């Protein structure tokens, strides 16, 4: 039995947030704290997005984003979406590498990014055979 | 297209940053254990389902979107 899980984006890992800002040319990590939303957050960090009048505050304790882009007039929502996409890619890639796995990153036509993580070690596979790290040739 | 075949985790990240995690080629009850470290990095679960057909064919993915707390 295999399974599929869908999750909404939440930026809860500071290292991955910083890595996402390095991947994303439209995002710059500013630093810890937030004048505007600090009283609402447990662990606020600010990010400046390209074309945005105000900084975005990310509470890495909860993963929530706080911002005021005036319905898109003070900053395009797509730019924040791109940061969240890069966050997910950075977080998953770091986890895979920490587990000793290689990561294959594929950009799809619809703008999605697919990460393929071959599993080393012994697993009971669908064809009845066992998998091993040496089977991959990657 | 993926060059990897055999036991693997695939994570699809939508342009809005939502993730869909699938395990291919692994039988038994350890699939959740394999993906748990990755899913812990992401947000709340929108849906989860066990699938047999995932061994052969990736599914069409329906992406749900949610915006952050804009004010």
- Indicate whether A13 and A63 sit together in one domain: yes
- Does A60 share its domain with A107? no
Provide ipTM, 2 decimals: 0.80
Pairing of β B69-70 and β A64-67 = parallel
Residue B16 resides in a domain: yes
Q: In what order do the strands lie in the sheet with A113-118?
A: A104-107, A113-118, B8-13, B19-24, A2-7, B45-51
Q: Is a pLDDT exceeding 90 seen at residue A88? A: yes
pLDDT score of A125: 52
| Domain membership flag for residue B70 | no
Answer yes or no: do B2 and A114 touch at CB < 8 A. yes
Kindly state whether residue A62 falls inside one of the protein's structural domains: yes
Tell me the C-alpha distance between A116 and B60, whole Å. Answer: 16
Torsion angle, CA of A133/A138/B4/B8, rounded to 10 degrees? Answer: 30
User: Number of structural domains, chain A?
Assistant: 2
Residues A137 and A69 in one domain: no
A76 close to B67: Cβ distance less than 8 angstroms:
no
What residues of B are in contact with residue A138 (Cβ under 8 Å)? 3-4
Domain shared by A90 and A108, yes or no: no
Domain containing B31 equals: 8-46
* In the block, residue with structure tokens 């669908």: A126
Residues A68 and A129 reside in one and the same domain? no
CB contact (8 A) between residue B64 and residue A123: no
Q: Does the pLDDT value for residue A58 go beyond 80?
A: yes
pLDDT in tens, B5-14: 788 999 999 9
Q: Quick one: pLDDT at residue A93?
A: 95
Q: Which domain holds residue A68?
A: 9-98
Shortest Cα distance, chain A CAs vs residue B66, angstroms: 7
**d(CA B37, nearest CA chain A) in Å:** 7
The answer as to whether B57 is a domain residue is no
Residue B24 within any structural domain of the chain: yes
Calpha distance A74→A76 (Å, rounded)? 7
Same-domain check for residues A130 and A71: no
- Residue A52 counted as domain residue: yes
| Min Cα–Cα distance to chain A from B1, Å | 7
What confidence score (pLDDT) does residue A130 get?
Answer: 41
Q: What is the tally of structural domains in chain B?
A: 1
- Model confidence over A6-24: pLDDT tens digits? 555 689 999 999 999 999 9
Check if A126 contacts B (Cβ < 8 Å): yes
Note whether residue A3 is domain-resident: no
CA–CA separation, B46 vs B48, rounded Å? 7
Asked whether the CA dihedral A23, A26, A28, A29 is positive or negative, the reply is negative
B23 close to B37: Cβ distance less than 8 angstroms = no
Same structural domain, A32 and A94: yes
Length of chain A in residues, anyone? 138
Identify whether A1 is part of a domain. Answer: no
Q: What is the pTM assigned to this prediction?
A: 0.77
With respect to residue B62, please indicate whether it lies within any of the assigned structural domains: no
Q: Scanning the structure block, which residue is given the tokens 């039988």?
A: B27
The verdict on residue B71 lying in a domain is: no
Q: What is the pLDDT of residues A89-127, one digit of tens each?
A: 999 999 999 999 999 999 999 999 999 999 876 555 544
Contact A76, A18 (CB under 8 A): no
* Domain identity same for A80 and A109: no
Residues 11-50 on B with a CB inside 8 Å of A are 11-32, 34-35, 37-39, 41-50
Q: In this structure, is residue B12 part of a structural domain?
A: yes
Render pLDDT for B28-68 as a digit per residue (tens, 0 to 9).
667 778 888 888 888 766 666 665 544 444 444 444 445 55
């Amino acid at each position: 039995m295999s399974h599929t899980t869908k999750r909404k984006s939440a930026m809860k890992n500071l290292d991955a947030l910083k890595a996402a800002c390095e991947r994303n040319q439209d995002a710059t990590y500013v630093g810890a704290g937030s004048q505007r939303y600090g009283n609402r957050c447990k662990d606020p960090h600010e990010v400046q997005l390209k074309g945005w009048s105000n900084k975005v505050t990310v509470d890495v304790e909860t993963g929530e984003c706080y911002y005021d882009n005036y319905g898109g007039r003070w900053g395009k929502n797509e730019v924040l979406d791109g940061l969240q996409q890069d966050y997910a890619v950075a977080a998953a890639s770091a986890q895979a590498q920490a587990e000793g796995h290689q990561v294959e990153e594929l950009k799809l036509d619809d703008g999605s990014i697919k990460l393929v993580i071959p599993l080393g070690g012994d697993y009971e596979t669908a064809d009845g055979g066992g998998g091993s790290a040496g089977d991959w040739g990657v | 297209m993926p060059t990897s075949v055999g036991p693997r985790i695939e994570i699809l990240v939508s342009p809005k940053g939502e993730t869909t995690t699938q395990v291919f080629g692994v039988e038994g009850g350890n699939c959740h254990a394999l993906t748990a470290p990755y899913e812990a990095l992401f947000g709340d679960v929108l849906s989860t389902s066990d699938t047999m057909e995932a061994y052969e064919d990736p599914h069409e993915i329906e992406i749900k979107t949610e915006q952050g707390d804009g004010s």
